[in-house]
Amino acid sequence: MSDAAPASAVFDRRRADQLLLPAIAAFALPACTLIPQTYVRAAIVFPVALVLPGYAILLLAFGTDRRLDWVPGLSLCALLSMAFYPLAGLLLAAVSVAPSVQSVVGAVDALVLAALGVSILRIRRRREPARAPRWVPASPPRNEGEQGMSGRRMLVAVAVAIALAGLGLGWARHFEPRPVATPYTAFYLTGAWSHVSAAPAIRGGARLSVVVGVTNRTHRLQSYRLTPQVDGSLSWPTRTVTLLPGATWTGPVRGPMPGDPGLHELVVRLTMTPQDTPVGGLTIWARTKLPSR
């Protein structure tokens, strides 16, 4: 009597390993997209993404009966994976799906699940006993009840893998960082000054107060300097404000107007400190008049 395991059991165990590993990877790949974009994520995702599509293609082509040595097998998987991604991009573009992390991961998972489904169908349709290697004694064929039970278990495992992969894709889509808009700074008139349609009249030499607003959309803490000047020569006191990302400041800039009557130009320039990077400017026209007697 020999203590060696039956050949059918050996082959069934190998088939289970060949189907279980890609099922686990198909679930893990979308879940890994939740990891922040760091070197750790690259170290985890890159090997899986490099091997998994090619392995699924080999599984579709040859099933679970043929096994390659690990060196040529990994090399062939990598080459097939590199060929798969451009074709997946073309297919996504053909169905008007924008290339993104979710769409690419979905394409890989779809390929893996298709390979698992085809492999399970092949195993269920194969009713004759597996051919044993020369050095392992052939075992008696398993009855159909045992084969059916094994097939049902595999179907349940694949169904669970599909559900977990879908859940992982949903998580990845929900938690993926939203695209950041181009950073900018909003600089504008506010209050009653935002509705002025004509140059206001003011007594010559009097102080004028103009209310302006600044909104920081640069996604970082930022300091601004407001520099008002009348007619390019009369400077008013400057103001410096510091804003958190998304914060808004509103306040007045004040200073005296020229004493001579006429139309005068007030320019308020906004710069980012400490480099004094220009951001923008506002131009306000005001008419001065002689004081009434």
Q: Is residue 262 part of a domain?
A: yes
Q: Is residue 274 part of a domain?
A: yes
User: Residues of 210-227 as b/e, b for ≥16 C-beta within 10 angstroms?
Assistant: bebbbbbbbeeebebbbb
Query: How confident is the prediction along the chain (293 residues), in pLDDT tens digits per residue?
Result: 444 444 444 445 555 656 666 777 777 777 776 777 677 777 878 888 888 888 888 777 777 666 667 777 778 888 888 888 888 888 877 877 777 777 888 888 888 888 778 777 777 776 555 555 555 555 555 554 444 444 565 555 556 556 655 555 555 555 555 555 688 899 999 988 888 888 888 888 889 999 999 999 988 899 999 999 999 888 999 999 999 988 999 999 999 999 888 999 999 999 998 888 999 999 999 999 876 65
Residues 222 and 162 in one domain: no
| Strand 277-289 with 201-203, pairing | parallel
Alpha helices per DSSP H over the chain: 7-32, 39-62, 70-94, 101-125, 144-175
Q: Is residue 2 part of a domain?
A: no
Would you say 185 and 222 are in contact if contact means Cβ atoms under 8 Å apart? Answer: yes
| Strand 222-230 with 234-235, pairing | antiparallel
Residues 140 and 246 in one domain: no
> What's the length of the chain?
293
Q: Is residue 41 part of a domain?
A: yes
* 192: CATH: 2.60.40.10
Which residues partner with 248 through β-bridges?
215
Residues 75 and 143 in one domain: yes
Q: Is residue 20 part of a domain?
A: yes
Residue 107 CB-density burial (10 A; 0-12 exposed, 13-18 middle, 19+ buried): buried
Q: How many domains does the chain have?
A: 2
Residues 99 and 34 in one domain: yes
How far apart CA 249 and CA 255 sit, in angstroms, is 19
Determine the structural domain holding residue 136 and report its residue range: 7-175
Token look-up 């293609």 returns 57
Residues 205 and 158 in one domain: no
Would you say 212 and 226 are in contact if contact means Cβ atoms under 8 Å apart? Answer: yes
Residues 78 and 148 in one domain: yes
